[in-house]
Chains A and B, each alone.
Chain A
Amino acid sequence: MEMDGGSASAPAGIEADSVSVRQGRSKIIYQFTQQNLPACKPVLSPAWVISIFFVVGVIFIPVGIVSLHASQTVVEIVYRYDAECVPESFRSNKLAYIKDSSIPKNCTKSLKIPKDMKAPIYIYYQLDNYYQNHRRYVKSRNDQQLLHGLKYHDTGSCAPEDVNHGLPIVPCGLIAWSLFNDTYSFYRGIDELKVNRKNIAWESDREHKFGKQVYPFNFQNGSLIGGASLDPNIPLSDQEDLIVWMRTSALPTFRKLYGRIEEDLDADDIISIKLLNNYNTYSFSGSKKLVLSTSSWLGGHNNFLGLAYISVGASFILIAFVFMLLHVKNPRPYGDTTNLSWNWKSMSG
């Protein structure tokens, strides 16, 4: 790198005297006003270009391999159940089935575990085509009320789910009203697998955003039931399903944590799932899936990151080689003068 102290083309004698008496900060100010600050002027030469591409490629490929490996060690089972759990007689009219509360919504399915799964095994429910990120939906909540409960009155943002029969609703808003209410229980043979439903929400939410003295009040009392109802004796900070649901997701296809299984599952185990198919996703062609997944240091099963790193690293190395070939074939001598624009003109005209 060239360090350019800068030499101004000004009367040399006077300049030298005045610079020599300046020190420290006034020297820097002088250099700044004269635009002579010491500077680094890197020049992009072919050697630098090739080495940058090569080094980045060589760093990226191992990172990609490690990420891909982490993703491949995760065992994930995705099972779509919303179509299969509708009884035969209602297959052509699923909406009538789901809205009729007298029809039992039990459903039993079985899954085969493809590979060994080490505890903890995370259980998620995945919803598709569900726009939790719609602006009106995201707005429809009130954080002050979640923290302070009935003491807080200004719940206009939750309309129309803020007041019912003249009484305020706690927690108010559409997000809480549409709480997911399918439930799952898992059996291996005749033994029930214990599902840990604690600590599924972020700790900061449980400790600081949902009040420990706030209890559900007047919730899901209206004519239109949107989802689950809440036990009015449990404070909001312990209602972890609600807390998880209230974190609106970014995309229309999302997963939310339901619980975790603290035991290992072996390959070829048959797990039977007893689920209650309560939640209505049929009216908007959404779908519901149950996901069982282990995790790695990088998270869940997502090959995208590893593959992206590997492909970017490989293409960088390819670009480095291509550039090296081009440079070797048509070298442009460093700082040669034939490319200066005034020399083209004299050569051509």
Chain B
Amino acid sequence: MNCDVVICCRVSPKQKASITRMVKEHSGKTILAIGDGANDVGMIQEADIGVGISGMEGMQAVMASDFSLPQFRFLERLLIVHGHWCYRRISKMILYFVYKNVTLGLTLFYYNIFTGFSGQDLYDDWYMTMFNVLLTSLPVLSVGVLEQDVSSDVCLKFPALYQQGQRNICFGWKRIIGWILNGILTSLTIFLLNIYALSPSAITKHGYTADMEHIGTITYTSIIWTVNCQVALMISHFTFISHILIWGSIICWYIFLYTYDILPPTYPKIVFHVFTEQIGPEPAYWIVTLIVVIVSLLPYFIHIVIQRSFFPMDDHIIQEMKYSGTDVSDGPMWLREQERSKQMTQVGYSARVDAKIRHLQEQMHRKRKSFYSS
């Protein structure tokens, strides 16, 4: 267990599996096993991640594995590009899901403070049903499927980025609690701003006041806008699919609201014509939505501004380099950073020896220079 590399030969499948198990138990780390033959099946299934190579020895390994590759060399791409991307995507997706449901649910709890804790919902039932089905689920799918912090060739050139996953940077406790706090703060902002801006005085030119349906619909609109714009702030790789899904979800909400309230009054109960007649034409609706969305997104925006300006992470700096083109204009710097990022990930004995030799050579070189120049 203290070795960096162990070579076994002439091992049976059961021995391969038990070696894998031993490493898993003793190190406590995530184990990946890769193999191409039927005798590797035990090992592949024992490991946390099994990779099968399809080809000469048949398809048994492929059928037993989690991932399959056609050639061994693609393992590098699997880990460093797709592993890195998937780690970031899944972390962002899960944390965002928690955030948006916290935002919606907590507004209902705050509202109950004002209803004598009787359990009355602020929003119509169908609004809440549509929330996780149609109105906010698709943008986060675009994050989970398409998000890339850096492109694939940069991932391969800078393998040190893969360590973000090993160090659990994107899904540590700080981030989880941070997103939940973001949700709490967002829900509080949305709720309080809507309540104080819309009652008790009239909201229309003709003197009508806002009822539960109006305040509910306006608050819900603010939530939909905020939650979808939050996705836009989270994404660093905007494809046309992301745009369609994010802005399309918001437009879907308006289409849904319009359709729902022109149904005959026995279906939507109280919210009949709430959008077309009652709040849609009112400037108060749109003005309140604008300020609520901007103020709710402010904490997260300030966080990413401060992070990017004063405590940038590796992928931010690489994004900046690519954006400003210094990777092309300052070629030697780009190559040098690539070499440096690779050095960190090598754990072999010979690499350390090489580094030590290089260090000593530099020292000698300096001493020689000072000797000759003095």
A4-B151, A8-B152, A332-B309 known; A256 and B209 CB under 8 Å?
A: yes
Name B210's contact: one of A6, A138, A250 (CB within 8 Å): A250
Question: Does residue B255 face the partner (Cβ distance < 8 Å to A)?
Answer: no
Question: Does residue A41 face the partner (Cβ distance < 8 Å to B)?
Answer: yes
Point out the residues of chain A lying under 8 angstroms from B304, CB to CB: 44
A35-B152, A332-B310, A335-B321 known; A308 and B209 CB under 8 Å?
A: no
Name B114's contact: one of A32, A144, A208, A251 (CB within 8 Å): A251
**Stretch from B28-36, B57-65, B117-125 at the A interface:** B117-125
B139-153 contact mask (Cβ, 8 Å, vs A): 1 or 0:
000000010100111
Question: Does residue B212 face the partner (Cβ distance < 8 Å to A)?
Answer: yes
Name B195's contact: one of A7, A251, A255 (CB within 8 Å): A251
Q: Which residue of A lies closest to B167 (CB)?
A: A341
Q: Which residue of B lies closest to A257 (CB)?
A: B207
Question: Does residue A212 face the partner (Cβ distance < 8 Å to B)?
Answer: no
Rounded to whole angstroms, the CA-CA distance of A335 and B321 in the bound complex is: 5
Point out the residues of chain A lying under 8 angstroms from B305, CB to CB: 44, 49, 323
A133-B120, A204-B273, A323-B305 known; A296 and B199 CB under 8 Å?
A: no
Name B201's contact: one of A67, A143, A260, A302 (CB within 8 Å): A302
**Stretch from B1-9, B48-56, B335-343 at the A interface:** B335-343
Rounded to whole angstroms, the CA-CA distance of A45 and B308 in the bound complex is: 8
Rounded to whole angstroms, the CA-CA distance of A41 and B148 in the bound complex is: 9
Question: Does residue B177 face the partner (Cβ distance < 8 Å to A)?
Answer: no
**What distance in Å separates the Cβ of B110 from its nearest Cβ neighbour in chain A?**
12
- Which B residues between 195 and 214 are near A, CB-CB below 8 angstroms? 195-197, 199-214
Rounded to whole angstroms, the CA-CA distance of A67 and B197 in the bound complex is: 11
**What distance in Å separates the Cβ of B107 from its nearest Cβ neighbour in chain A?**
12
| Residues of chain A at interface, number, CB under 8 A | 86
Query: Are B266's CB and A301's CB within 8 A?
Result: no
- Which A residues between 32 and 52 are near B, CB-CB below 8 angstroms? 32, 35, 37-46, 49
* Interface residues in chain B, defined as those with a beta carbon under 8 Å from any beta carbon in chain A: 77, 85, 114-116, 118-120, 122, 146, 148, 151-153, 156, 160, 193, 195-197, 199-216, 236-241, 264-266, 269-270, 272-273, 277-278, 282-284, 287-288, 291, 294-295, 302, 304-305, 308-310, 312-314, 317, 319-324, 326, 333, 337, 340-341, 343-344
20 contacts between A and B (CB under 8 A): A35-B85, A39-B148, A41-B319, A41-B323, A63-B287, A76-B201, A133-B114, A133-B115, A133-B120, A202-B273, A249-B199, A250-B216, A257-B209, A293-B202, A299-B205, A305-B288, A308-B197, A336-B317, A341-B313, A342-B160
Add 14 more A-B contacts to A124-B202, A299-B282, A340-B337 (CB < 8 A). A38-B240, A39-B238, A40-B239, A67-B287, A134-B120, A202-B273, A250-B214, A254-B199, A255-B202, A298-B283, A308-B197, A332-B309, A335-B321, A335-B323
